[in-house]
């Protein structure tokens, strides 16, 4: 998989906020670090720049983009944050891995929201990117910085390998601290709904505002098209289930096994443990880079057991299900 990557021209990776700001002001693309995953950013108010994002990712236009802002006080420039529950989530968890779907103001181009009346907004928790956002006078539209459908990047090199020829600058913020995309929350008919599981757990959200409803459609859903069945997929077939059973089923193949905690497996070609300590937070940080590492091996298949279905474990299981091989 991805052998062509070696021919991709590489972008400059650096920590220069001024270079990043200038590039964005001139309508260019900059990969930005966030606590969740790296984003492929452009000036959200410049349609020509936003178009470049769709082209670079080969992303369909029906899949809208999240806009990133520097602080809660900026939200009113672009959207209406009137619902009291969403407001307390923003106050409690921004900056952080939470995206809110809010009624958009007309200043936000329809291209950003794919014509939807709501815009997805978040304040990322990464000092470099916050500094950049304070420097420019526009929000940054940024999907994850990976080709459409592939797993998200959690390190500058991940971006460079796949999109190095399409991005003008990569702002180096190191390895992402959370490793999973933001949790997406909105309100429908007065009900607070979670559309994508992510770096902020349902438990934390419910502690703040009480019960929420999960609307995680597996098929193409206009609310969160990123929830398409084949999203977050690595280049090799991935199977979820009991590791020993899956090992037997794939006897003739080169197997890469993903384990968690003290789970052991022998007689397979590769073993990657997401967290030897059995911590879901650590597993989240490692998940996407492990999938990328396996893609670079000669393994034929990936086998993995679901994690305990609580906290970040739920979001990890969600990503695994979407990465699962579908015949």
Nearer to ligand TXA, 14 or 60 (CB): 60
C-alpha dihedral, 72 to 76 to 82 to 83, nearest 10°: -40
Phi-psi region of 62 (alpha: psi -120 to 50; beta: other; left: phi over 0): alpha
169-187 in b/e form (b: 16+ CB < 10 A) is bbbbbeebbbbbbbbbbbb
Please give the residues from 275 up to 304 whose contact with ligand TXA meets the rule CB under 6 A. none
Q: Structure tokens of 318?
A: 């969600």
Beta carbon of residue 176, minimum distance to ligand TXA (angstroms, whole number):
9
**Alpha-carbon dihedral sign for residues 198, 174, 236, 167:** positive
User: In whole angstroms, what separates CA 219 from the centre of its chain?
Assistant: 18
Structure tokens at 125: 């928790």
Q: Indicate the residue whose CB is closest to Mg ion.
A: 144
| Residues 59-98, interacting with Mg ion (CB under 5 A) | none
Asked whether 224 and 196 are in contact (CB, 8 A), the reply is: yes
Q: Cβ 214 to Mg ion, closest distance in Å?
A: 19
Q: Is 116 in the site for ligand TXA (CB under 6 A)?
A: yes
Q: C-beta of 289: minimal distance to Mg ion in Å? A: 16
Quick one: 24 or 66, whose CB is closer to Mg ion? 66
State the DSSP code for 68: E
- List Cβ neighbours of 181 (8 Å cut-off, separation of 6 or more): 36, 37, 97, 144, 152, 196, 198, 199, 226
Instruction: Please report, for residues 29, 57, 122, 163, 327, the alpha-carbon distance to residue 150 in angstroms, rounded to integers and kept in the order given.
Output: 19, 10, 22, 12, 17
Would the CA dihedral through 187, 188, 192, 194 be positive or negative? negative
119 interface partner picked from Mg ion, ligand TXA, none, CB below 5 to 8 A per type: ligand TXA
Burial 42-68 (b: 16+ CB within 10 A, else e): bbbbbeebbebbbebbebeeebbbbbb
Query: What is the per-residue binding string for ligand TXA in 64-103, x denoting contact by CB under 6 A?
Result: xxx--------------------------------x-x--
Number of residues engaging Mg ion in binding (CB under 5 A): 1
Q: At what angle do helices 17-25 and 127-135 cross, to 10 degrees?
A: 50
State the binding string over 122-151 for ligand TXA (x if CB under 6 A, else -). Answer: --x-----------------xxx-------
**If binding is defined by CB under 6 A, does position 181 make contact with ligand TXA?**
yes
224 binds ligand TXA (CB under 6 A): yes
Here's the x/- map for Mg ion, 122-151, by CB under 5 A: it reads as ----------------------x-------
Please choose, out of 115-123, 207-215, 242-250, 287-295, the segment that lies near ligand TXA by the rule CB under 6 A. Answer: 115-123
Residue 201 binding ligand TXA, by CB under 6 A: no
Sites for ligand TXA among residues 32-51 (CB under 6 A): 34, 36-37, 39
Residue 142 binds what, of Mg ion, ligand TXA, none (CB under 5 to 8 Å, by partner type)? ligand TXA
Taking the C-alpha atoms of residue 133 and residue 135, their distance in angstroms, rounded to an integer, is 5
Q: Find the shortest distance in angstroms from Cβ 121 to Mg ion.
A: 16
Binding site for Mg ion (CB under 5 A): 144
Q: Which residues bind ligand TXA (CB under 6 A)?
A: 34, 36-37, 39, 63-66, 99, 101, 113, 116, 118-120, 124, 142-144, 181-182, 184, 223-227
């Amino acid at each position: 998989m991805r052998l062509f990557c070696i021919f991709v021209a590489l972008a400059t990776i650096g920590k220069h906020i001024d270079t990043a700001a200038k590039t964005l002001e001139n309508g260019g693309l900059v990969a930005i670090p966030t606590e969740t995953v790296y984003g492929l950013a452009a000036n959200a108010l410049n349609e020509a720049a936003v178009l470049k994002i769709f082209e670079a990712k080969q992303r369909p236009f029906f899949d809208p983009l999240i806009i990133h802002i520097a602080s809660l006080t900026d939200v009113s420039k672009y959207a209406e944050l009137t619902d009291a529950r969403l407001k307390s989530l923003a106050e409690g968890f921004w900056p952080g891995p939470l995206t809110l779907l809010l009624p958009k103001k007309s200043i936000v181009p329809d291209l950003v929201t794919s014509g939807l009346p709501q815009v997805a907004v978040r304040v990322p928790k990464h000092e470099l990117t916050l500094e950049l956002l304070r420097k420019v006078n526009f929000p940054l539209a940024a999907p994850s910085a990976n080709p459409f459908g592939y797993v998200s990047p959690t390190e500058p090199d991940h971006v460079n390998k796949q999109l190095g020829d399409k991005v003008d600058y990569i702002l180096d913020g190191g390895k992402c601290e959370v490793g999973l995309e933001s949790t997406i929350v909105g309100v429908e008919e007065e009900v607070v709904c979670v559309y994508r599981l992510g770096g902020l757990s349902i438990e934390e959200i419910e502690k703040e505002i009480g019960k929420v409803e999960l609307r995680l459609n597996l098929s193409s859903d206009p609310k969160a098209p990123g929830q398409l069945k084949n999203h977050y997929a690595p280049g090799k077939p991935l199977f979820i289930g009991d590791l020993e059973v899956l090992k037997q089923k794939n006897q003739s193949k080169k197997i890469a096994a993903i384990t968690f905690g003290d789970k052991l497996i022998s007689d397979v070609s590769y073993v990657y443990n997401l967290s030897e300590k059995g911590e879901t937070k650590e597993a989240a940080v490692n998940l996407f880079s492990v999938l990328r590492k396996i893609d670079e091996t000669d393994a034929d298949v990936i086998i993995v057991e679901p994690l305990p279905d609580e906290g970040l474990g739920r979001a990890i299981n969600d990503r695994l299900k979407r990465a699962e091989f579908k015949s």
